[in-house]
Structure 1
């Protein structure tokens, strides 16, 4: 996700920029706005942003001075200057300070759109390059973790995935300290490395960066930053590992793949309900007994273990992103008995709900 701070002393301009940004795609979010550089710096003391779009001439602290402060205190951010002053001096100064672009007012929607996309691409490229270099530097000391991933994927050990992901996350986080914004890219670089190892076995899979929709609010307070980026990295690792697991299974014919995907989709939509085997058989258009056999053969996992994994994933998101109690979360993901739910959670993640939350947030 690309979280953007807008800084302009005209309220209507701020509103117009917000409208343009939110119309680009659901990946780009306006996290905050300020009427001058001083307000912007106060906001940044308590909130996170990837990008700043700022006017040049503003009271108290102007746009150029704001960029200097951002370069000094928030070096991971990129800035785009938007100004009505067609003055080469401002362009020259802003670019000299490292601004990624300079857009003139009145702002053309497509021009701003392109500027944001180019800047976002540069941010991602820079972070991924750093993550890849760090991976090469640290890997010699963590080959055991790489071997663990390769072995468990080759032998399709689904049940070992949750704890393996948590252990991998802690390893990656130990490399970066409090620069949590590198976690997602490190997770992607790690998956790419695992995929390279598996390619020896002729397994080909295209890994793409996922979306973090639903994992955090538009505006992320500094105290929630670590939890947010850890959860994003966990999702990257889980999604990537699942696709690698699937690619390691024998290829199924198209009708079988469609039946399995239909069952998965149904479970994803009804995981909080009491699902019967007959319902799933009806979805796959096969018999009750055969749907269970088909699913296990195609995925290496039983239907009920898959259902539990979906429920546990939803429960984990609720546990880390809401103040809800364990019994409330249990009910929301389909369990009337919170004790039974906690046992399943521990069996899945290797830790009880409270212990897992503490490990993820401390």
Structure 2
């Protein structure tokens, strides 16, 4: 029977804990109680308990000092700390002294049951392992290998064989879709003095442990510390359509729990569901881009890629026209033309926006959008060099001079234009030719003008105008033409039902297809099919004669 000693300066709290432990797990023996660290040391010397449940703040000798002594004199005793102060500094110190877990007052029954179970498992592993060192080393190796391979997934450099290795070491991604979450500490919630005094890795470790605990209860996934500032969770889900609701609930749970337990806040970026191992990097990149919107939306939020508010232009039609000129210059102009267009845009923005914050927010939205374009074209590194977009946005937001802001944005977008031009030259295409091929390849899907404009890195309004100028038809007219031509071919040369043909040629429903088909051809789909089949029958008869 495992034994435990309770240490707290409040007798009613000690009695309550004793009762809860007896009710939750009769296997545990509460060997004794102590009011402070001094009394606890005497009890431990006499009773040699397996575990210790101690408050942090107590008279004479507090929980931190008690743990330091126990760590040296009784290293086999497992310690769990309890605090009524949601101050992360105390938790940090306890973790450094080897505490196995911690709980916040008031203690909930479910949480205590979980801690007791964890302690029993650790005690069993200590007693049963003939070579505990090799067991620990094997666990560490598995963890490091898992982190290395999952990091490779995020970067797009892991194969199906690597997934098999992950399965063998206990990380099983069998479901078809992946969703990536990036959890970032809001440093402002900690305070610069407190953050600088602490070891930053401890903050990330704390966040990682909490995130993994939440995921372990509610999803199939893996969580690890990616850098000094980011914790990444990769969730493996079965259904693309229904997955996001569950993922967002997990994100909100993580955000709330971190705030309630530690007085810190985090911002979480979430990518869209990606199908297959090779698409994991896409969801990770989207989660990172969603996080960039923290500069606009603020911290302590769950930000989903594609759902972050783009907002309206902060100035009306004039601003829209200037945006189109800027888009055109970036796509087709020289560096000088791009710089002038960017400077004019920033100047107009500063004149009409009203507040410095509105100016910075609008420019952040603009630059994040171009950052996505650069990523799709594969020129991000060429554009930004060793800097990342976060640093660029922070720099832009630190500028308070209109002239300096015009100069900085002009140079940044001129550099982007040069990089995008070289990327397009490598593809030996112009945007309209590429858009036509894209439409021909995807006309049978739910295709939008914005999707095609994004594909060729143009503003939707500018793309629409340029498309009409170059082809003589609007985007919708060209798309409809392709769909009708293919539908006519299928009706003439196949026996598929008209509803199936409508679906396979990109129409939302049969009624829409019937209406569009009649407008384009002057007859209904059935009339057209009957006429074509009649012609084929007459042609066959002529051949027989």
Q: Normalising by structure 2, what TM-score? A: 0.24
Higher RCO (CA < 8 A, seq sep 6+): 1
